[in-house]
């Protein structure tokens, strides 16, 4: 039997888009929309999984109707608005945190967006983890990794892992490239740091046998109505456009 493709959903903010937001409003998904999306997956017989829980499916060791759920950056609204919905459906998810931004804001793009978005602090990140969710790594400062020196790469990738593991007292085996920016050198540094998988922003659904350090994802945007969400996540639409 041919293994089913595995959608790895990519979210950022689970909150209403601020009126003052200048650009990239697509990064926001309204909490009501997120709740409807998770309810639809549940109704269709899918299980929402963190990246580590999805690994047996990504490696081809198991098969089933599963969706991996990822949230980038570590925003406080993930804890406040996504966690209760995920728990209600018995789902898990991975939040990729920027360790240098814990308790701060989105310094890397606040000026461009015109909005300072609060990030989870250490206590809140621990609450996310204690709630049955996974903490993944997203570098220390959210740089473009292909532009970093070898020393900077080690600091951003391995240093990020060490800081997050110290913060939550648990292993952090999953990584996400900021901006999706990666090359062979960046991938090698990610593997050497001890991560078991890494996600990109390349469009498409993952399949058993894919390069685990270059996994594609399905971006979920503010404008996606429920039928569009289902079409993108559960059919070959994103595969054809990747």
pLDDT at 164 > cutoff 70: yes
Please give the model's pTM, rounded to 2 decimal places: 0.96
Give the whole-number percent of the chain exceeding pLDDT 90: 90
Question: Which pairs with CB-CB distance under 8 Å and at least 24 residues apart come from 161-166?
Answer: 161/137, 161/193, 161/194, 161/195, 163/99, 163/100, 164/97, 164/99, 164/125, 164/135, 164/137
pLDDT of 208-223, one tens digit each? 999 999 999 999 999 8
Sequence ranges of the domains in the chain: 8-241
pLDDT at 154: 97
What is the pLDDT averaged over residues 43-71?
97
What is the pLDDT averaged over residues 12-32?
90
The Cα-based distances of 121 to 103, 191, 199, 228 in angstroms read 4, 27, 23, 34
Which residue intervals of the chain are DSSP H helices? 31-43, 51-58, 76-77, 83-88, 110-113, 122-130, 150-153, 159-168, 184-192, 226-234, 237-241
pLDDT at 3: 77
Please list the residues that pair with 95 across neighbouring strands. Answer: 71, 135
Dig out the tokens for 91 from the structure: 């789902």
CATH of 8-241, one of 3.20.20.370, 3.30.1330.60, 1.10.10.10, 3.40.50.300: 3.20.20.370
Q: Quick one: pLDDT band at residue 131, thresholds 50, 70, 90?
A: very high
DSSP-assigned letter for residue 6? B
Reduce the DSSP state of residue 177 to 3 states and report it.
coil
């Amino acid at each position: 039997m041919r293994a089913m493709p595995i959608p790895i959903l990519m979210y950022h903010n689970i909150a209403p888009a601020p009126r003052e937001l200048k650009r990239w409003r697509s990064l926001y998904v309204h909490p009501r929309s997120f709740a409807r999306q998770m309810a639809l997956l549940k109704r269709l017989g899918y299980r929402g999984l963190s990246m580590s829980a999805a690994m047996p499916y990504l490696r081809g060791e198991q098969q089933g109707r599963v969706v991996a759920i990822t949230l980038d950056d570590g925003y406080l609204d993930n804890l406040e608005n996504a966690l209760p919905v995920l728990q209600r459906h018995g789902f898990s998810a991975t939040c990729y945190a920027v360790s240098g931004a814990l308790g701060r804001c989105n310094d890397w793009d606040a000026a461009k967006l015109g909005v300072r978005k609060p990030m989870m602090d250490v206590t809140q990140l621990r609450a996310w983890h204690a709630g049955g969710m996974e903490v993944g790594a997203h570098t220390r400062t959210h740089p473009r990794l292909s532009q970093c020196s070898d020393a900077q790469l080690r600091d951003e990738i391995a240093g990020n892992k060490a800081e997050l593991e110290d913060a939550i007292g648990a292993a952090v085996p999953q990584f996400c490239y900021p901006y999706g920016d990666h090359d062979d050198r960046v991938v090698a540094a990610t593997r050497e740091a001890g991560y078991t998988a890494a996600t990109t922003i390349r469009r498409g659904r993952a399949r058993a046998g894919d390069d685990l350090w270059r996994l594609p994802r399905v971006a979920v945007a503010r404008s996606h109505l429920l039928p569009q969400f289902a079409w993108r996540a559960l059919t070959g639409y994103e595969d054809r456009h990747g």
